[in-house]
Amino acid sequence: MAGLDRCRRWLWLLGMTVACLLGMPLLAVRAAAIEADGAHSAARPNVLMIAIDDLNDWVGFLGGHPAAKTPNMDRLAARGTAFLNAHCQAPLCNPSRTSLMLGLRPSTTGVYGLAPWFRTVPEWRDRVSLPQHFRKHGYRTLTAGKIYHGRYPPRDERQAEFDVWGPPASVGARPPKKLVTTPHGNHPLVDWGTFPHRDEDKGDWHVASWAVEQLEARPREPFFMCVGFFLPHVPCYATQKWFDLYPADRKLLPPVRLDDRDDTPEFSWYLHWRLPEVRLSWLRREKQWLPLVRAYLACVSFVDSQVGRVLDALERNGLSENTIVVLWSDHGWHLGEKLITGKNSLWERSTRVPLIFAGPGIRAGARCTRPAELLDIYPTLIELCGLTPRDDLEGHSLVPQLRDPSAPRAFPAITTHNQGNHTVRTERWRYIRYADGSEELYDMQADPHEWTNLAGDRRFSKVIAELRRYLPKVDRPPVPGSRHRILVYDPKTGTAVWEGKPIRPDEKIE
């Protein structure tokens, strides 16, 4: 039977290659192949989805930091298509993951904060998620680590979302007390550094081990497996060997201008108003900027090693030839740029994320600069796997770019953080519009650090007018139960309200 399966797979791959050379639509080819195969579902490719939390573009193949060492993500990019201009839908875990899994923008779901779980919203209670769509088409669905945010879904709802559940996301080993005392509540998660512990003690090691075990056991095919890693989310704890990759040298620090916020609207501060994540001013004062940067890079390299363990198991068990691998991060993370740390912004460091597709029917060694969104993963996987298309998804398939990375794409990438705050990213431009009507515009080719806001320059009025057309037409307020990092704005009074408390005009911007 194993030999027969291999034969079918090779015939399927040969047919795909011939069809692509003849210019046949990929969806039609897959549908025909599946119909000809009848009940033999193994002809459909498996899906391995690897999610990484808070990973910005400090990854080797993206070039976001010249010292970043990520050999495993780099080798995945080399055997597939890497999207160099990919962006999240929301710069915060819960709304970003909700958007990706439902195929809807945050401005459509109304989920902007760390709460609620989207199934508590009547409108989305029965919405078919990405893994549910695959399960409806005969896939066995498995998950471990952080795919949905936090403890979502509640335990008694898990079987409705996935067939098999592995270990949850966790920090793993922690020091007896925090390594760094931080302002704004000394939040237990806002910490970084190293202490005596083993890689095997970390939560992400356990998640990777579970994935390896599943692949070694040869799960029933076709399968849809999600593996969600926690790091480099804070606390950024790594063992010493990962810190040793990044010697303490100020050259590791990202380029920053201390006057960078002088030409940004005051409203831009409100998106990350009162947060436990520290500001650059505190890092510099406490001499913690370089330690945090080193810790973040060390955690990136550690989680890359766990990605490598999973990819090795996929290859070792002969599953890579019939498995589509998609790797993504839910949003980026600032490490001093724009004078902040953390996410919750509409600038490049917060929105740009790794996005890789690799596997059957996908061009190897390709690099695409067209704008892409995490929202595009849902329709792309549907088309790659020949599933029933859906007409209620707000993303757009990336299959044309997976065939030809230079293929034109009519859609920019759009990121939203709370109602009324959106950014539009094209190959050249980033345009930001805030809820109070203030704006920013950056020429990303001439000014990749976003140091010069061009929005007030009349020479670019036509550019802004064109980019405004892409702002979401649906822009709903936060759904009931929204909590944590919620910002609302009342245009009648001009009042911004952060987590239920109005921001006074005289409050100091730190």
CATH of the domain at 171: 3.40.720.10
Q: Are 211 and 199 in contact (CB under 8 A)?
A: no
Q: What is the DSSP string of 331-349?
A: ---EESGGGBEES-SSSHH
277 with 333, same domain: the answer is yes
Count of structural domains within the chain = 2
Distance in angstroms (rounded) separating the CA atoms of residues 403 and 414: 23
Domain span holding position 110? 44-258+266-411
499 lies in some domain: no
**Nearest 10 degrees: Cα torsion 58, 61, 67, 68:** 50
455 lies in some domain: no
Give the model's pLDDT for residue 410.
96
280 lies in some domain: yes
Distance in angstroms (rounded) separating the CA atoms of residues 345 and 264: 12
Cα–Cα nearest to 68, from 288, 343, 394, 301 = 301
Phi, psi of 114 (to 5 degrees): -75, -10
54 with 8, same domain: the answer is no
Query: 492 CB contacts (<8 Å, ≥6 apart)?
Result: none
36 with 83, same domain: the answer is no
35 with 63, same domain: the answer is no
Distance in angstroms (rounded) separating the CA atoms of residues 144 and 319: 19
341-342 and 355-358 as β-strands: parallel, antiparallel, unpaired? unpaired
Please tell me which residue in 88, 93, 226, 385 is annotated as part of the active site. Answer: 93
222 lies in some domain: yes
177 with 240, same domain: the answer is yes
Residue 338 falls in which region: left (phi positive, over 0), alpha (psi -120 to 50) or beta: left
426 lies in some domain: no
Residue 93 falls in the annotated catalytic set: yes
Distance in angstroms (rounded) separating the CA atoms of residues 79 and 315: 12
23 with 65, same domain: the answer is no
18 with 158, same domain: the answer is no
**Nearest 10 degrees: Cα torsion 48, 117, 342, 88:** 50
The encoded tokens of residue 31 equal 């549908």
On whether the pTM is more than 0.85, the answer is yes
Please tell me which residue in 149, 272, 331, 417 is annotated as part of the active site. Answer: 149
205 lies in some domain: yes
Distance in angstroms (rounded) separating the CA atoms of residues 149 and 96: 9
462 lies in some domain: no
Q: Which of 382, 411, 440 is the last residue of a domain?
A: 411
91 with 5, same domain: the answer is no
Name the H helices within 220-332: 240-243, 267-270, 280-285, 289-316
73 with 154, same domain: the answer is yes
15 with 98, same domain: the answer is no
Q: Which of 411, 437, 470 is the last residue of a domain?
A: 411
Q: Which of 385, 411, 437 is the last residue of a domain?
A: 411
Amino acid at 271: L
58 with 25, same domain: the answer is no
Q: How far is CA 494 from CA 83, 210, 436, 440, 504, in A?
A: 39, 51, 7, 19, 11
Distance in angstroms (rounded) separating the CA atoms of residues 510 and 507: 9
136 with 213, same domain: the answer is yes
433 lies in some domain: no
Residues in the chain with pLDDT < 50? 1-13, 16-41
- Beta pairing partners, 487: 498
Computed from CA positions of residues 208, 210, 215, 219, in that sequence, does the dihedral angle turn out positive or negative?
negative
Distance in angstroms (rounded) separating the CA atoms of residues 252 and 293: 7
Residue 422 falls in the annotated catalytic set: no
- Beta pairing partners, 441: 431
- Largest Cα–Cα distance in the chain? 74
Q: Report the chain's terminal Cα–Cα distance, integer Å.
A: 66
